[in-house]
Amino acid sequence: MSRIQGWQTGILVLAGLVAAGCSSSTTGTPTAAGSTTSQSTTTSAPPGGSSTRSAGPSLAPRVANPKKLRGQDACQLLTPQQQAELTFTQPGTKGGTAFGEEECRWSNDNLRIRLATDTKRRGLDETYLRKEKLRDFTPSTVAGYPAVRTDRNDKLKSCRVDLGVADDQVLYITFDRNSPNNPEYEDPCGFAEKVGKMVLDNLPPAG
């Protein structure tokens, strides 16, 4: 082999090594791209919210000035003065809900009121998710807070109002009329919302 041929062969071998090195650096998935994908699926809880809240978009209107319902005694949601205004002379009876939280019931010859707290799930979104299964579904507001009127029965003069007090906390207010003496009872959902306004006045701001 001549000196020129040996020099040309050396150049060809070196070029092959360089090409092989370049092609090996482009195989596989870059770690930077993988970390970017991981970051894009990370979500954080809304201010004052729960880490268990769904990461998807909210179905219900957001609560502008959230209140703290979590940890409140259900039978203390209405003050003694408010209970007297509602014609109750006996304390409420505490119970539990199907989803493991507190409720309180008041009843007399005039009316029945049930307050149930829901602070560990998805707030008013729970109602919106079951929209198609409800007897009726009428969005409303109570003192500026989003609500839904549902389970209205005009014959029995009963109604349930689901009141969003925070994005991840909802209060269920059920009203049943026992006596036709009070004209306010003719609008069962309006009366349930009146009770909801009483509770809102007593709740502290979310911390």
The answer to whether residues 31 and 103 belong to one domain is no
CB hemisphere CA count around 166 (13 angstroms): 24
Please identify which residue in the block is written with the tokens 């919302």: 193
Domain count, the chain: 2
β-pair partners for 161? 149, 173
The terminus-to-terminus CA distance of the chain in angstroms comes to: 87
**Whether pLDDT at 174 is above 80:** yes
The answer to whether residues 99 and 183 belong to one domain is yes
The answer to whether residues 32 and 99 belong to one domain is no
CATH of the domain at 98: 3.40.1000
Closest CA to 143 of 197, 75, 72: 197
Q: Give domain status of residue 49, yes or no.
A: no
The answer to whether residues 169 and 78 belong to one domain is yes
CA distance 186 to 178: 11
Burial class (CB in 10 A: 0-12, 13-18, 19+), 56: exposed
Structural domain of 13: 3-40
Q: Give domain status of residue 63, yes or no.
A: no
pLDDT band at 135 (very low <50, low <70, confident <90, very high): confident
Mean pLDDT is lowest, of 49-58, 105-114, 170-179, for 49-58
Q: Give domain status of residue 62, yes or no.
A: no
pLDDT of residue 10: 44
Q: What's the mean pLDDT in 104-132? A: 96
pLDDT winner (highest mean) among 48-52, 57-61, 168-172: 168-172
pLDDT of residue 56: 58
The answer to whether residues 99 and 28 belong to one domain is no
Outline where 57-187 has alpha helix (H): 80-85, 125-129
